[in-house]
Amino acid sequence: MDNSRTELLLGKENIKKISSSQVAIVGAGGVGGNLAILLVRSGFENITIFDFDKIEKSNLNRQTQAYEDTIGESKVDKLKSILLKINSKANINAINIKITKENIDNFIKNYDIVVDAIDVVSDKVELICYCKEKGINIVSAMGAGNRYDNPVFIVEDIFKTHDDGLAKIIRKKLKERNIKAHTVVYSYSKPIKINKVIGSISYYPVACACTLASYLVNFIIKEKKDERD
């Protein structure tokens, strides 16, 4: 893959740090799938993606691997094929499984960083707590649904978030588990109240993914610099 334009911005050494890093993305939906695309285009070459789901019609409005002719296919397998079209030399590990409390120890290892893009609260909490316990760096995506205004996502400690229903639930559960700090990407825009299924629009999950991608690029550059000092 030609990283010349990115190298002009970040420099050759930082490109090497990014390309050699090991990243896991748990959840390949609107946020996780778009994040994977952004990371590969940013020079990441070692990415493991976890998701158990298949592409559905309702995914067409926001998920990067969702097309009319891919409905019914595995989300991670289709995403992997797209990523390899961007960089055929990338090491993309697509694992078609749901990460849960029962199997997490078999799959989540010492990655440089884990991205939590899960939408199930219980599994989300277990992943966060496991990584905290094992000393594995982790960042979580909060809610990207029920909003259609101009999206603004920021990086924040979850205990400083507001106006995010998912973050509120996670905060409470992390407090019960004695977790006192956790980095998340969230929007403080107030969501619209919708009954039953969460509403979504194309650009909101992508905006969240963009903020996550920028966080990972800067995190890896700083983290690997600190390791050498």
Q: The domain spanning residue 123 has which CATH number?
A: 3.40.50.720
- For residue 40, tell me if it sits in a domain: yes
Residue-level pLDDT, tens digit, the chain, 229 residues: 999 999 999 999 999 999 999 999 999 999 999 999 999 999 999 999 999 999 999 999 999 999 999 999 999 999 999 999 999 999 999 999 999 999 999 999 989 999 999 999 999 999 999 999 999 999 999 999 999 999 999 999 999 999 999 999 999 999 999 999 999 999 999 999 888 889 999 999 999 999 999 999 999 999 765 443 3
- For residue 158, tell me if it sits in a domain: yes
- For residue 5, tell me if it sits in a domain: no
Question: In terms of DSSP bridges, do strands 91-95 and 23-26 run parallel, antiparallel, or are they unpaired?
Answer: unpaired
- For residue 6, tell me if it sits in a domain: no
Dihedral sign from CA coordinates of 151, 199, 64, 108: positive
- For residue 70, tell me if it sits in a domain: yes
pTM of the model as a whole:
0.95
- For residue 82, tell me if it sits in a domain: yes
- For residue 142, tell me if it sits in a domain: yes
* Domain encompassing residue 150: 20-228
Count Cβ neighbours within 10 Å for each residue of 28-67 and write b for 16 or more, e otherwise.
bbbbbbbbbbbbbebbbbbbbbbbebbbeeebeebbbbbe
Q: What is the dihedral of CA 213, 152, 125, 202, to 10 degrees?
A: -80
Number of domains forming the structure of the chain:
1
- For residue 203, tell me if it sits in a domain: yes
Alpha helices in the chain (DSSP H): 4-10, 12-20, 30-41, 75-86, 104-107, 121-134, 165-176, 203-228
